[in-house]
Amino acid sequence: MKKLITTALVLMLSFIGSTQEKNIETDAVTIDNLITFVVENYSVKKDSTNTKNITFLIETYADGFNTEDRVILKQAFKLLTKRVTDNDLISIVMYSNYNGVALNQVKATDIKKLLYVIEHPKSSVKTLQDDGVEVAYTLTKENFIEAATNAVVMLRLPNRQSHINNAIANVPTTQHKKKSNTLVLTAIALLPEIIAVKKIK
């Protein structure tokens, strides 16, 4: 009986120890505050011995990001690559409109791979999943590095669905205006010829 209790106690303590060891930090930030977040949370000091293993969980609302969001994301990742070392690692997971791993644990200084994902978010996700948030935490646990800062950074892009709906609602109006503008330009282009014909008569 003592042996059974001792074994159970050892197993429980080892489970608690492994859970505590797999400490995953979580941060949430909106895209408007992303650059500030990078500056405040990732130091430029190269003497830091603590390796960073970061999983960015990026909200999606369409197949790609709009121009403004894309610019902010690119600038933030360019800044981040200057504030990390070759030992640091980054993964990117998408969630919301589509879910899945877009980039699995590359060097945090590999700007080409990071920017490619920003330019082609949906096509970077090879296998679509049901829940991007769950995928991000599962991936971080699988890629967990002992004696490193393991973190999931949830990046929110609020109020983007309404922008998409407004853009879709405005499509027929825009097409109508283009047709009207074409008609006006054609009329202006033909005006000298019409005036010349009237002068001849």
DSSP 42-83: S---TT---EEEEEEEEEESSSS--HHHHHHHHHHHHHHHTS
**44 vs 32: which has the higher pLDDT:** 32
Q: Mean pLDDT score of the chain, rounded to an integer?
A: 80
Q: Under a CB-based contact definition with an 8 Å cutoff, are residues 108 and 145 in contact?
A: no
DSSP strands (E only) in the chain: 24-30, 51-60, 89-96, 100-107, 148-156
Q: What is the pLDDT of residue 159?
A: 85
**125 vs 5: which has the higher pLDDT:** 125
Which residue type is seen at 12? M
49 pLDDT above the threshold of 80: no
187 pLDDT above the threshold of 60: no
pTM, entire model: 0.70
Q: Under a CB-based contact definition with an 8 Å cutoff, are residues 137 and 88 in contact?
A: no
**Distance between CA atoms of 101 and 128, rounded to whole angstroms?**
8
80 pLDDT above the threshold of 80: yes
Q: What is the pLDDT of residue 199?
A: 52
